[in-house]
Amino acid sequence: MVARAARAADLADLDGEVSDCFACPRLVDWREEVARTRRAAFRDQRYWGRPVPGFGAADARLAILGLAPAAHGGNRTGRIFTGDRSGDVLFAALHRAGLANQPTSVAADDGLALRDTRIFAAVRCAPPDNKPTPAERDTCAPWLHREVALIRPTLRVVVALGAFAWAAWWPVLREVYGVRPPSPRPAFGHGAHWSGTTAPALLGCYHVSQQNTFTGRLTPGMLDDVFARAKQLAGVD
Ligand code: SF4
């Protein structure tokens, strides 16, 4: 799997390779079971039921790193943060920030396009209870590492959505940028900021999950502040 990720020559190649990954037995079972049983509201739809590739600009200066696809969101539609409440909140914010051409993301063919931005997840298959194991995170890491390597020439800032994504970023420093991660690791927090000399800056943001957005822990204004800061650090107008 490491070799498959490493030989992807470009993002299209990588997207094709990752979509055909079966490396984690528990997650393969889960993504396929969800696709078979489906949620009542989507019973007439054919679920994607595969790993979900990254999405967005190949020359991204800003990246958004999530945890994993949602069972009835990305695992259904085949596009990350598409067709679920988390995506509704995220893309509305990206649209307000001028980084998305529309405020909604409902299906892979809905015309959504991102400017200067790429979105990907630390784990590419939907996990039960949104909780991948450490072994699954590590198994999936080469896909993330290759994706970052492919956009490395332009990438300046990474927004980590939640503590899982924040923790998943540190191995990227070693694997892609050849630098030692800071020790001790900076703690995750909303608005946390780390910057090195050769690697992109890292910004922490509470995850756009319903748990956070429905309770007011993460508000649209807080997201707007994070993306304004990310754009400034990335040099995006
Ligand atoms: S989580 Fe990642 S490594 Fe595991 S099966 Fe899915 S794509 Fe492959």
> What are the distances in angstroms from CA 24 to CA 71, 113, 236?
16, 30, 37
> Going by C-beta distance under 8 Å and a sequence separation of 6 or more, which residues neighbour residue 37?
none
Residues 6+ apart with CB under 8 A from 22: 28
Check if the beta carbon of residue 202 is closer than 8 Å to that of residue 189. Answer: no
Per-residue pLDDT at 1 exceeds 90? no
**Is residue 6 over pLDDT 90?**
no
Ligand 1 neighbour 140 (Cβ under 6 A): yes
Residue 55 is predicted with a pLDDT of 98
| Cα of 57 from ligand 1 centre, angstroms | 22
Is 23 touching ligand 1 by the criterion CB < 6 Å?
yes
Q: Is 63 near ligand 1, meaning CB less than 6 Å away?
A: no
Between 220-234 and 85-96, two packed helices, what is the crossing angle to 10 degrees?
A: 50
Q: What pLDDT, on the 0 to 100 scale, is given for residue 232?
A: 98
The model's pLDDT over 61-109, given as tens digits with 9 standing for 90+, comes to 999 999 999 999 999 999 999 999 999 999 999 999 999 999 999 999 9
Question: Is 14's C-beta closer than 6 angstroms to any atom of ligand 1?
Answer: no
- Residue 158 forms beta bridges with which residues? 63, 202
Written as one letter, the residue type at 85 is R
**Confidence band, pLDDT 50/70/90 cuts, at residue 197:** confident
Cα–Cα distance list, 208 to 8, 98, 116, 151 (Å):
30, 18, 20, 24
Q: What is the pLDDT of residue 7?
A: 87
Give, to the nearest 10 degrees, the angle between helix 134-151 and helix 11-18: 160
Backbone angles phi, psi at 168, to 5 degrees: -70, -15
- Testing ligand 1's pocket by substitution, the residue of 14, 15, 19, 27 carrying the most ligand atoms inside 8 A of its CB is 27
Does ligand 1 lie within 6 Å of residue 168's CB atom? no
Strand 157-161 versus strand 193-194 pairing type: unpaired
pLDDT of residue 4: 87
How far does the centroid of ligand 1 lie from the alpha carbon of residue 229, in Å? 32
- pLDDT at position 227: 98
CA–centroid distance, residue 142 to ligand 1 (Å):
10
Strand partners, 55: 119
CA of 219 to the centre of ligand 1 (A): 31
**Distance between CA atoms of 20 and 42, rounded to whole angstroms?**
24
Q: What is the DSSP string of 35-54?
A: HHH--GGGTTSPP--S----
Q: Is the CB of 51 under 6 A from ligand 1?
A: yes
The token duo for 178 is 């050849």
Mutate to test the pocket of ligand 1, among 4, 21, 26, 31 (most ligand atoms within 8 A of CB): 21
CA atoms within 13 A on the CB side of 3: 0
Q: Would you call 157 helix, strand, or coil by DSSP? A: strand
Give the other-Cβ count within 10 Å of 52's Cβ: 30
Q: List pLDDT tens digits, range 141-189.
A: 999 999 999 999 999 999 999 999 999 999 999 999 999 999 999 999 9
Question: Residue 152 and residue 127: Cα distance in Å, rounded?
Answer: 28
